Amino acid sequence: MTPGNPAVLSGTWFVVQTSLPLWRTRQNPSVTYAPLPDGRVVDTVRFTQRGRPGLIVGLDRPLPGGGWEWRGISLLTRFTPSRWQVAHAADSWAITVFARTPFTPAGLDVYARTPSLTAAQQTEVEAVLTTLPIAQPYLRDLFFPVHDEQKS
């Protein structure tokens, strides 16, 4: 798979491992990507927090050198862009890396098409993470966000 291709992102991904602190207080994190004909991607983040559903919607535009720039569509998120990239993509999981913003540290997410990885998939992810130079700064901070039976 080509990580920069919007079709790789299409559909729903669950955040199954992350270094981003915001997922410590939110459960059932998922991201749904819907590519648009002009190359941009609608990005919908869903989660629960204290039992209440949360939703953040943004628009990703491809960057000339690779990667993406996200901008939220709400007034609170519109003026805080976030740059990110797909560092590795497999059929059922992917690794994304995010640059620092004024409100969030730089970090890494491992996405999967299901709320958890199989043992074999986790072994594959760990093998890739240890050899992926861009992932190295985040490895010591990785944790597994909570996913329960409730769909996010």
Q: What is the mean pLDDT of each run of 10 residues along the chain (152 residues)?
A: 61 97 96 94 95 94 92 71 92 95 92 96 97 97 87 44
Per-residue model confidence (pLDDT) at position 51: 92
Where in the chain are the domains?
A: 6-141
pLDDT of residue 74: 67
pTM: 0.90
Token pair, residue 59, equals 């628009």
Quickly name the fold that domain 6-141 has.
Lipocalin (2.40.128)
How far is CA 146 from each of CA 14, 88, 116, 138, rounded to the nearest angstrom? Answer: 11, 23, 10, 19
Q: E strands along 8-106, which residues?
A: 11-18, 27-35, 41-49, 52-62, 68-72, 82-89, 93-98
pLDDT score recorded for residue 78: 63
